[in-house]
């Protein structure tokens, strides 16, 4: 991962961020995409408390992903000691910090933004108006804490792990990154079907996860060789210059 590679992805983040902001702040696309999941006769989203959908696609998937994160975190701690040839210490730090900081950043933003879930919006039987990202609601309306999407973020947090594997196997890294994107999108869309998030909440979570992953990779110098990244059990190279 060269400086040019980071600059290219930084440019992509900037352009995609502008596009996301323009599309979802200038249109009612979020409302249009949420409407098919709302039943006006019931005055609610039917899948919100579905007997199969909620336990399996919300709690089941979430707990499975978190259990996987605990196992991955343990592996990262092992890698920090230089005992994994395929995961040098700085790469292990990237993966571990991504598992921690991506959900944490989403949680902090949810506390400091004022966006409601679809089921809270008056157009879908709720109590709050649909507001823009920086709009302020009147004081008599409870503050919204639904943006970005935390459920989807537990899928997108694996983006950092994919980036951490890039120096070992770019192909494996691409597969994990694609898997993380698919997992996060599926988790976000299933939550959207329940009225728990708008599509923009999920896409901004993906954007934030990739931004944090890139920032961590750049700060940790992932991709740059270092003596400290040699596994502790590795023997020094004793070949002569002629053999090399």
The DSSP element (H or E) to which 48 belongs, if any, is none
CB-based burial, 172-204: b 16+ in 10 Å, e otherwise: ebeebbeebbebbbebbbbbbbbbbbbbbbbbb
Q: What pLDDT, in 10s, does the model give residues 11-54?
A: 999 999 999 999 999 999 999 999 999 999 999 999 998 888 88
Quickly count: other Cβ atoms within 10 Å of residue 47's Cβ: 20
Residue with the larger pLDDT of the pair 39 and 3 = 39
Q: What pLDDT, in 10s, does the model give residues 193-229?
A: 999 999 999 999 999 999 999 999 999 999 765 444 4
Under 8 Å between Cβ of 146 and 117: yes
Per-residue model confidence (pLDDT) at position 51: 86
């Amino acid at each position: 991962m060269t400086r040019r590679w980071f600059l290219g992805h930084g440019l992509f983040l900037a352009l995609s961020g502008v596009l996301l902001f323009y599309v979802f702040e200038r249109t009612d696309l979020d409302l249009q995409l949420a409407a098919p999941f709302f039943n006006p006769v019931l005055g609610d989203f039917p899948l919100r408390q579905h007997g199969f959908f909620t336990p399996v696609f919300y709690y089941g998937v979430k707990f499975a992903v978190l259990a996987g994160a605990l196992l991955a975190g343990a592996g990262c701690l092992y890698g920090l000691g230089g005992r994994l040839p395929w995961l040098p210490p700085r790469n292990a730090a990237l993966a571990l910090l991504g598992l921690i900081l991506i959900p944490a950043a989403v949680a902090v933003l949810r506390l400091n933004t004022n966006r409601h879930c679809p089921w809270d919006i008056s157009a879908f039987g709720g109590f709050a108006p649909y507001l823009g990202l920086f709009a302020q609601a009147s004081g008599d309306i409870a503050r919204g804490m639904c943006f970005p999407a935390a459920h989807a973020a537990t899928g997108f947090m694996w983006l950092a792990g994919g980036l951490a594997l890039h120096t070992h196997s770019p192909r494996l890294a691409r597969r994990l990154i694609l898997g993380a994107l698919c997992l996060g999108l599926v988790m976000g869309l299933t939550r959207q079907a329940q009225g728990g998030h708008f599509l923009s909440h999920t896409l901004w979570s993906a954007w934030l996860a990739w931004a944090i992953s890139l920032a961590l990779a750049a700060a940790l110098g992932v991709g740059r060789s270092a003596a400290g990244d040699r596994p502790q059990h590795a023997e020094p190279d004793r070949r002569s210059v002629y053999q090399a």
